[in-house]
C-alpha cells in the first residue's frame, strides 16, 4: 500500500475517526485506525465496537487533487501515535507506505517515521449497507430531532432498552421516541420520498449524542439505512455506524392522554426563566420539585420550597388558562429540558389533573411532544 496525501485533509479525517476510538477497549485491534487505500480514494475507520466512524478522502474532488500515487492496500495503525504524528508533520504533503511485513513508513519533508502496523484482516468487518434501501433527511433536521429527544433517555442500566431512542418509520412518518419512564419526548417528521420498508430500531442515546457532535451544520442530506444489527448514517464523505439495542421498545402511544382538563398557553422563554429561578431552591434529592398553581384566568404561580433553605414564589402572566383550577408539582429539571426542546415562542400545556401526566407542545406545531409525570407531594 502506498499513497501521497494532502496533510490538512488527512488531519481532518483522522480527527473525525478518533472520536470513535476509545483508549479502554477489550479488543486490541480497536486501538488502531484502519487505512484503506483504493484507486478512487482513502478511507479511514475508527471504532470502539459500539460506534464506528468511516471518513473518506476522495483522490480528486472539484479539480483539487488530494491523494496521488495510490497503490491499493490496507493497514491498521496505532491511533494514538498516528494522530499525533500526522498533526506534527512538517510539510503539506505526507507519503504513507506499508510493506508486506506490515511495516509502515510515513514521510513528510525530511521527517521519516517507521511504525509497526497490524493486519487489516484482523479489523472488525463492518456491514456493507446498500444505499437503495435508505431514507434521506437534511442534516439540520436530523440534528434537531436528536437534540429534542435524546436528553430524555434513561441513564440507568436497569432497563437497558430505555437507554436508547426508538426510531420508527411507518406510513411516511419518521418518529423519534425517548423515555426514562418519568418523562417522554416524541418528535415526528413527515418524509415525502421514502424508498425503504418500515423500520423500528432502538439506537443507543450515547451513539446519537456522538453523531450530533460529529455532523456539521450543513444543508446537505444525511442518508439513514438499517441492517439487522447496525444503523448507518451517511453524510458527505463520512459514515457513522452504530450498533442497535436488542429488545422490544415499550409501546408509548397509549401513555399520551387525548383529552385535557386544564390548558395553559404561555410564552416559552418566560416560563423557562421562572422555572429556572424556582429551581434554585429546589433540592436535587427531592427530584427538584417545584409547584405550579393556577390563579384566575391569566396568572400562574410557581413555588420552589426547601424548608431547610428557603422558599421562592413567583407569579407569571400567561396568555390564557382554560378549564379547571389546578395545583401540580413536577420536576423543574424535566420541565426545563422539555421547554428547551420546544423551539417555539409560545407553548401549550395540557393537564389532566394533579396526579396525571401532562403534555407540552408548541402552540402551532404538532410535531414535538413532551410528556412529564408529576411528583406526588402532600
Span of 8-16, 244-252, 272-280, 304-312 interacting with another protein by CB under 8 A = 244-252
Distance CA 55, CA 11 (A): 11
Span of 63-71, 172-180, 243-251, 290-298 interacting with another protein by CB under 8 A = 243-251
Which of 62, 63, 121, 198 touches another protein (CB under 8 A)? 121
- Is the torsion defined by CA of 161, 142, 211, 340 positive or negative? negative
CB of 143 to another protein, least distance (A): 24
Exposure letters 269-305 (e unless 16+ CB within 10 A, then b): eebbebbeebbebbeeeebbbbbbbbeeeeebbbbbb
Longest dimension (CA), the chain: 81
Distance CA 178, CA 174 (A): 14
Q: Does 228 bind another protein (CB under 8 A)?
A: yes
Cell 502496523, residue located: 117
Q: Does 138 bind another protein (CB under 8 A)?
A: no
Distance CA 274, CA 267 (A): 11
Span of 97-105, 132-140, 154-162, 172-180 interacting with another protein by CB under 8 A = 154-162
Which of 74, 149, 154, 163 touches another protein (CB under 8 A)? 163
Of 246, 215, 247, the closest CA to residue 230 belongs to 246
**# binding residues, another protein (CB under 8 A):** 26
Distance CA 363, CA 349 (A): 9
Q: Does 247 bind another protein (CB under 8 A)?
A: yes
Cell output for 44? 479511514
CB of 231 to another protein, least distance (A): 10
Toward another protein, which CB reaches closer, 163 or 274? 163
Q: Does 29 bind another protein (CB under 8 A)?
A: yes
Q: Does 161 bind another protein (CB under 8 A)?
A: yes
Q: Does 127 bind another protein (CB under 8 A)?
A: yes
Q: Does 28 bind another protein (CB under 8 A)?
A: yes
- Our CA dihedral for 43, 45, 163, 232, rounded to 10 degrees, sits at 30
Toward another protein, which CB reaches closer, 34 or 187? 34
| Three-class SS state of 219 | coil
Toward another protein, which CB reaches closer, 29 or 102? 29
* Sites of contact with another protein (CB under 8 A): 26-30, 49-50, 121-125, 127, 157, 160-161, 163, 204, 228-230, 243-247
Amino acid at each position: 500500500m502506498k499513497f501521497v496525501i494532502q496533510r490538512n485533509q488527512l488531519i481532518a479525517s483522522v480527527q473525525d475517526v478518533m472520536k470513535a476510538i476509545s483508549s479502554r477497549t477489550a479488543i486490541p485491534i480497536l486501538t488502531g485506525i484502519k487505512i484503506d487505500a483504493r484507486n478512487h480514494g482513502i478511507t479511514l475507520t475508527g471504532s470502539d465496537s459500539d460506534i464506528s466512524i468511516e471518513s473518506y478522502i476522495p483522490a480528486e474532488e472539484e479539480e483539487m487533487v488530494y491523494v496521488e500515487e495510490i497503490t491499493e492496500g490496507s493497514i491498521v495503525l496505532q491511533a494514538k501515535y498516528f494522530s499525533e504524528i500526522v498533526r506534527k508533520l512538517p510539510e503539506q504533503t505526507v507519503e504513507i507506505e506499508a510493506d508486506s511485513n506490515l511495516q509502515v513508513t510515513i514521510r513528510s519533508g525530511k521527517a521519516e517515521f517507521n511504525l509497526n502496523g497490524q493486519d487489516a484482516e484482523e479489523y472488525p468487518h463492518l456491514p456493507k449497507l446498500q444505499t437503495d434501501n435508505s431514507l434521506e433527511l437534511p442534516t439540520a433536521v436530523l440534528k434537531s430531532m436528536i437534540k429534542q429527544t435524546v436528553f430524555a433517555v434513561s441513564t440507568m442500566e436497569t432497563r437497558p432498552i430505555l437507554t436508547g431512542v426508538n426510531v420508527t418509520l411507518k406510513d411516511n412518518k419518521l418518529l423519534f421516541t425517548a423515555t426514562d419512564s418519568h418523562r417522554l419526548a416524541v418528535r415526528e417528521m413527515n418524509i415525502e420520498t421514502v424508498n425503504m420498508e418500515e423500520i423500528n430500531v432502538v439506537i443507543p442515546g450515547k451513539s446519537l449524542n456522538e453523531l450530533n457532535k460529529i455532523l456539521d451544520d450543513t444543508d446537505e442530506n444525511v442518508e439513514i439505512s438499517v441492517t439487522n444489527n447496525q444503523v448507518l448514517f451517511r453524510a458527505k464523505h463520512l459514515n457513522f455506524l452504530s450498533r442497535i439495542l436488542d429488545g422490544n421498545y415499550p409501546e408509548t402511544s397509549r401513555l399520551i392522554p387525548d383529552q385535557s382538563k386544564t390548558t395553559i398557553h404561555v410564552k416559552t422563554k418566560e416560563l423557562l426563566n421562572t422555572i429556572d429561578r424556582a429551581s434554585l431552591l429546589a433540592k436535587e434529592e427531592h427530584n427538584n420539585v417545584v409547584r405550579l398553581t393556577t390563579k384566575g384566568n391569566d396568572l400562574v404561580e410557581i413555588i420552589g420550597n426547601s424548608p431547610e433553605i428557603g422558599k421562592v414564589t413567583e407569579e407569571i402572566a400567561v396568555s390564557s388558562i382554560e378549564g379547571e383550577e389546578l395545583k401540580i408539582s413536577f420536576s423543574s429539571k424535566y420541565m426545563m429540558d422539555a421547554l428547551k426542546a420546544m423551539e417555539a415562542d409560545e407553548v401549550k400545556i395540557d393537564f389532566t389533573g394533579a396526579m396525571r401526566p401532562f403534555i407540552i407542545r408548541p402552540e402551532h406545531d404538532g410535531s414535538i411532544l413532551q410528556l412529564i409525570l408529576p411528583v406526588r407531594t402532600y
